[in-house]
Structure 1
Amino acid sequence: MGKFEKDAKVLLDAIGGKENVSAVTHCATRMRFVLNDEKKADVKTIEAIPAVKGTFTNAGQFQVIIGNDVPIFYNDFTAVSGIEGVSKEAAKSAAKNNQNPVQRVMTLLAEIFTPIIPAIIVGGLILGFRNIIDQVQWGFWGGQTIAQHSQFWSGISAFLWLPGEAIFQFLPVGIVWSVSRKMGTSQILGIVLGICLVSPQLLNAYDVASTPAAEIAKKWVWDFGFFTVRRIGYQGQVIPALLAGLSLSYLEIFWRKRIPEVVSMIFVPFLSLIPALILAHTVLGPIGWTIGQWISTIVYAGLTGPVKWLFGAIFGAVYAPFVITGLHHMTNAIDTQLVTDTGGTGLWPMIALSNIAQGSAVFAYYLMNRHKEREAQVSLPATISAYLGVTEPALFGVNVKYVYPLVAGMIGSSIAGFLSVTFNVTANAIGIGGLPGILSIKVKYMLPFFFIMLIAIAVPIALTFFFRKVGFLTKAEDELMVDSQDEALAVAEEKATVQVGTVAEVKSPLTGRVKALSEATDPVFAQGVMGQGVVIEPSEGLLTAPVDGVVSVLFPTKHAVGLITDQGLELLMHIGMDTVNLEGKGFEAHIKQGDKVAVGDKLISFDRDVIKEAGYITETPVIVTNQEDYQVDTAEQLPHEIKRGDALLKASKI
């Protein structure tokens, strides 16, 4: 009998049987199912399976968190079920069948915008800093701004114009590149097409409205004798860039299938780029421009019209569920279009307020459960993350799980959204979310936004306490408390016979910058679901053994490895996020599963440039997965720079 055969049988029954499984695969820590009917999955039974650490659904996949034993569990599951596993990409493809057309479009938008969000956030933050330097008038300086009072800060503002304007002026380049990356076509062609949309040889999109039509017809056209084409750029435009990028990718895919490989290098790029460029400037660009203006006009009307209070209340309430479903990525395009067309966006302030409201709800939950170690370890980092604009840990770790904090946050966010549009609060652009979001707000709206922030903090906290006291929507937590009490008794009986006090020292497997695990990008790691530890941003591409032990798991794609020591300490190191998609490209393993290793032995070499060029991050969680047996503490205060072999963690047997 396999190690997990019994658990695998229970899981098969709990997900609705073999006939309910459309596809199954796994990554370094999770079983990933595409189910024909997700309603048949008995989540409570699944999460009660000893080997299961939790479940969640994302992008049409029902994911069951197992831990670093997932390859063994997967083998036992396929054996008892008779279901042949598929690749992760095949599973993702099958998962699209569980999505309606709107969800598929939103998923596509999410996958296109995700790689460029860091640049957009940086651009918004830079504009926010310049906003403070250039526009806030200080009474003790006679009404002068910082830039007017200080030549140094005036120079800083002028210098910051370069990256701030570059990000938004040349945003179409990033969008077309990201489309090419997502579609698996030539990224350099995407970059070239993007440049052709924002070339200095074109009339800047920001100057079109102020340029007379007669001047455009005379100076800003390509004249082909019997017809002309307007020579207008698409700086800051989102939809034209999306349509142009998609046309380029589909043309390249079309020609790849029809042109012999021996001459494809010559003809495929030419027959893809030139028609896409023509379409961009004659059809898709003008259409996209018009659609973008329609969307921004409609949203702007909602933000400024006679029922703007209702629009603000509804958007404030539904934004958190948007994050849960992934629909929130569509707001990036709308925000950017609003900035282009109206000089600012009223959506971003409400998004920042929603971050704050959900963070406040989970903070209230933390205050109520701060003496429960496991709950506090999840809820406090989730609070900090949400207050800084990343709400996934708060939503998936606490609020969605227990429902009533989610509803309290939604109500607080709704009230804040109502007030935000009532006072016409506007941001310069997309910036950092949460509490620092005030930096992206236009100066004249900063004071009302500050008071609305206080409401977004106070209301969810008060409602979370109130809902818990009266028992409103607390059924999920009440049931979990009963189950936890039974589990606690069993664990206490088992641990009564185990000697405690043994301390294991974990060395750093990487050179780089180490920070708290709660700052990990992946919410499953950030919430501590997989275990406790840290996350390291490597500056070199070599992972070494942090302890003496045995290689318990080596993932086939070589991006993750697990170790177990003679004392029973179990470690997992996961290089990058979603790097399983690289299928081993850029990774070289120096060990195999079952090998004995000593501290400092080479485990995996990896090419950081390959990972980054593919659009993934290299941050590496180093975690103790059997956290129920060990108390994990960091060797030094975080964050700090670290070298391979330096003291990283101390794990004490409990």
Structure 2
Amino acid sequence: MNTPKTGALAEMILRGVGGPENIESLTHCATRLRFQLHDGTKVDQAALDALDGVMGTVPQSGDRFQIVIGGAVAGVYSDIVNLPSMSKAGKPAAKSDADVKAEIRAKGRGRFAWLDNFFEYLSDSFRPLLGVLLGASLIIAIASMLDAFGLVDFRSADKSATWVFVDAMWRSVLYFLPIMVAYNAAKKLKIDPWVGAAVMAAVMTPNFTGMIGSKTPGVTTTTNATLGTSESVAHVFGLPMQLNDYGGQVFVPLLMVALLALVYKGLKRIFPENVQMVFVPFFSMLIMIPLTAFLIGPLGVWAGNGLGSGLSWLNGHAPIVFAIVIPMLYPFLVPLGLHWPLNALMLQNINTLGYDFIQGPMGTWNFACFGATAGVLLLSIRHRETMMRQTATGALAAGVLGGISEPSLYGIHLRFKRIYPRMLAGCLVGGVTIGILGGVNTEAFAFTSLLTIPVFDPMIKYIIAISVAFFTAMALVYFADYRTKEERAQVNAERDAAAAEKAAAKATVPAQAVKAEERELVTVGAGTGASAGSATGSAAEGKSLELKAPVAGRVIGLGEIEDPVFSSRALGEGVGIEPADGRIVAPVDGELITVADTGHAYGIRTADGTEVLVHVGIDTVQMKGDGFDVHVKAGQKVTAGDHLADVDLDAVRAAGHPAVTLMTVLNTAEMTSVEPRVGQDVTAGTPVVTVRR
């Protein structure tokens, strides 16, 4: 089954979530569509899960619903929002008295929707930054790779202007991360996001940070002789204010915006609408900038440092326990979208310690996940499961190159219960390995992929740990299978039955013996041509005809062709030739009854009524003539050896099609015998099939 185009998929998704009238809002992240619905019970989850192009679905509380698409999510999102019917979406649903009472009762009963809201707040504050974080991590990876090969001293204190500029390319994301997080958090809480960004920016200006350690009047700096650390305090309006560099902080903007939302919405209730645009932002900034500088900022730094120190203590005193807990925890956090708080801690560690120790163990989970996907891919190739092969290939590419695990999780792992235990075994072995080796650190926030390996230190320990995790999970999935024996037997039987049914259906009637786009080629024996064949048939009985190779190459039997139509002889007996060049010639004297517009197929009828098909490549009709230079036309008389076409074999193979050239006798059933000669290397014009009437 082919994956539907994104436009068609958009319409089917829209129906599956209950129609546009049921959509309150729609956003998307790197892999998922995120719906806020009026009524979650209207979702047809089974129908959505069955759609090609949908990797999985995730119902959530509060009528929220997620649909996992993968890398094509932006295109599907765009198609959905541009559907004409979406003009009916985004309108608040009318609430009855019963609805209002039910909501109040639900709040009073203390349900766990608040927990979902909390994690949604954290996730939505970071999720839109996925692209720039990934971009920054790859810039760091490239620089670290050059450093590893000794081409540049990436960590030198006196780098040239060139490398200072390269540093700015990735530090821009990490340093100004608090402003970006504040913007997203404010947007999530439905207040002016620019106010959130402005409040956070106020404590990150050069004027503010320049006071740290300076001799500015009113600023005092003390040094802790034991720890060697210094602390600056500014006396503002007579009050002491601890000075911090908030670059890279994530807890400060999260705490600040949560309080800002209360202030902002309270001010909107106070001021009339006609003056809100001026006074609500003004008073919000007037209140929140001092609160952030005096209270929330130091509190956020303290909270972030405390969490980081706690994990650092565990990593220092029980490194194996820490290295096991992290990769074993992630497989359960990521599907629920609860992994962003740990990602925030990684950023906090880099900002405060100068390095992070969580990403190393986390990498073993990612590679165990990708290893399990690789095991599924190998099994899909072995068992000829086309759809699973396509799904696993895309998921594996997204993983090992981009460090994104959702396509693997939703497209494969969560659908087959036998995969998760084997993937967890890979996580466990990888975690134990990295713990025994003494842990791995990184000075950068990096998505754990093949491209970011150089940012980890010691790199060799990291490579060993992720390799062990990858190959353990891959081997366990491959040798144990992700299906039970009964499921495997049933799936393989259904596959074989479908192939046989398809071949039998095509062999029933000559006009049905070829793919829809090639049916015209089987009409060489129809109409007046059929009469001519029957008229000459009696006179030709007992005679033999030699069909010559239409191209130079190695002759093989039709049974070796990876196409059920040809291998089942539905198009008659004949041979395949693995071509040595792209010059195609006529195999016999006759008339060209059919020449495909795309140049990939030719139907020839001989004087005695033998119908011969020359077909260049498998499924090459999809190339629409690209790479085919045709020298003949339908109705033309040809002699064996006449030049039919030139084919660019490299273009055929680059398009993903086998280049084997087929020659079959379409009306084999009318012949006494059709005898192919296989297993030889031939030049064009060498006899390869004997036809006896």
TM-score, normalised via structure 2 length: 0.57
Counterparts of 1:223-622 in structure 2, within 5 Å, are 223-225=236-238, 227-306=239-318, 308-370=319-381, 371-388=384-401, 389-422=403-436, 423-442=438-457, 445-468=458-481, 500-501=516-517
Give the CA deviation at 1:119: 2.6
1:198 and 2:199 correspond: no
What is the deviation of 1:311? 2.4
* 314-323 or 27-36, which deviates more: 27-36
The residue number in structure 1 matching 2:530 is none
Aligned to 2:593: none
Matched with 2:645 is: none
1:221 is aligned with what amino acid? A
Structure 1 residues 260 and 431, CA, compared in 2 at 3 Å: closer, same or farther?
Answer: same
Paired residue type of 1:198: M
Deviation at 1:137, TM superposition (A): 7.3
Structure 1 position 464, deviation (Å): 0.6
Change (3 A) 1:206 1:479: farther
Q: Deviations over 1:318-377 (max 9, x none)?
A: 312322111122222111111122221122123333222211211111111123222211
Residue 184 (structure 1) aligned with residue 190 (structure 2)? yes
Distance 1:109 1:436 in 2: 27
Q: State the SS of the aligned residue for 1:413.
A: helix
What's the offset of the Cα at 1:426? 0.5
User: What whole-Å deviation, never above 9, does each CA across 1:144-174 have from its counterpart, x for those lacking one?
Assistant: x634999x99554222122233322222111
**Deviation of residue 387 (structure 1)?**
0.8
Alpha-carbon distance in 1 for matches of 2:155, 2:326: 40
Match among 175, 184, 189 for residue 169 of structure 1: 175
**Residues 1:114 and 2:127 are matched in the alignment:** yes
Distance 2:35 2:236 in 1: 56
The AA in structure 2 aligned to 1:331 is L
Change (3 A) 1:149 1:42: closer
Cα 1:283–1:360 shift into 2, 3 Å: same
Superposed displacement of residue 458, structure 1:
1.3
Alpha carbons 1:237, 1:289 under 8 Å: kept: yes
* 1:415-459 superposed Cα distances (whole Å, 9 cap, x missing partner): 2123224322011121132222312213xx111112222212211
The letter of the residue matching 1:184 is K
Match of 2:138 among 125, 131, 138: 125
Q: Which residue identity lines up with residue 413 of structure 1 in the other structure?
A: C
Secondary structure at the counterpart of residue 118 of structure 1: helix
Change (3 A) 1:239 1:630: farther
Question: Matches of 1:491 and 1:344 in 2, distance apart?
Answer: 59
Q: Distance in 1 between matches of 2:341 and 2:66?
A: 24
C-alpha displacement of 1:120: 2.5
Equivalent pair of 1:109/1:330 in contact (CA under 8 Å): yes
Q: Note the aligned Cα RMSD (angstroms).
A: 5.2
Equivalent-residue separation in structure 2 for 1:427 and 1:468 (angstroms): 35
**Counterparts of 2:323 and 2:192, CA distance in 1:** 41
| Letter paired with 1:131 | S
Shift of residue 296 of structure 1?
0.8
1:182 deviates by 2.2
TM (normalized to structure 1)? 0.60
Does structure 2 retain, via aligned residues, the 8 Å contact 1:147–1:157?
Answer: no
- Over 3 Å counting, the alpha-carbon distance change for 1:393 and 1:297 in structure 2 is same
Instruction: Give the equivalent residue in structure 1 for 2:642.
Output: none
Whole-Å separation in 2 of the counterparts to 1:297 and 1:224 = 33
Compare CA radii of gyration and give the structure with the larger one. Answer: 2
Change (3 A) 1:63 1:184: closer
Contact 2:212 2:232 in 1 (8 A): no
Residue 212 of structure 1 aligns to a residue whose secondary structure is strand
Q: Is the 8 A contact 1:256 1:268 kept in 2?
A: yes
Matches of 1:490 and 1:65, distance apart in 2: 33
Conserved 8 A contact 2:323-2:432: yes
Q: Aligned pair count?
A: 473
The letter of the residue matching 2:284 is S
Q: Letter of the 2:174 partner, please give it.
A: F
What is the CA–CA distance in structure 2 between the aligned matches of 1:447 and 1:465, rounded to whole Å? 26
Cα drift, residue 188 of structure 1: 2.5
**Contact 1:124/1:428 (8 A) holds in 2:** no
Tell me the amino acid that sits aligned with residue 238 of structure 1: V
Amino acid at match of 1:302: L
CA distance in 2, matches of 1:205, 1:456: 48
In structure 1, C-alpha distance between the alignment counterparts of 2:155 and 2:49, rounded to whole Å: 61
Contact 1:316/1:413 (<8 A) preserved: yes
Q: Which runs of 5+ in 1 are unaligned?
A: 1-10, 76-84, 139-144, 504-628, 638-648
Equivalent residue, structure 1, for 2:57:
56
Classify 1:327/1:386 alpha carbon distance in 2 versus 1 (closer, same or farther; 3 Å).
same
Tell whether the 8 Å contact from 1:632 to 1:651 is kept in structure 2 after alignment: no
* Residues 153/297 of structure 1: CA separation in 2 closer, same or farther (3 Å cut): closer
Is the contact between residue 318 and residue 410 of structure 1 (CA under 8 Å) also seen in structure 2? no
Q: Note if contact 1:133-1:153 (Cα within 8 Å) is conserved in structure 2.
A: no
Contact 2:375–2:474 (8 Å) recurs in 1: yes
1:316 is displaced (CA, Å) by 0.9
Partner letter of residue 204 of structure 2? V
- Amino acid across the alignment from 1:56: T
Q: 2:52 and 2:223 mapped to 1: Cα distance?
A: 69
**Counterparts in 2 of 1:205 and 1:390: CA distance versus 1, 3 Å:** farther
One-letter amino acid matched to 2:126: F
Deviations 1:252-287, CA, capped at 9 Å, x for gaps:
222123211122122111111111112111221122
Q: Give 1:530's aligned residue.
A: none
Instruction: Give per-residue Cα distances to partners, 1:273-317, cap 9 Å, x unaligned.
Output: 1111121112211221111112111222232222x2122223212
Change (3 A) 1:465 1:187: same
Contact residue 22 and residue 39 of structure 2 kept, 8 A = no
CA distance in 1, matches of 2:181, 2:287: 19
Shift of 1:460: 1.1
- Rate the CA distance shift 1:63–1:115 in 2: closer, same or farther, 3 A: closer
Q: Take 1:283 and 1:149, find their aligned partners in 2: how far apart are those partners?
A: 35
Aligned-pair identity (%): 19
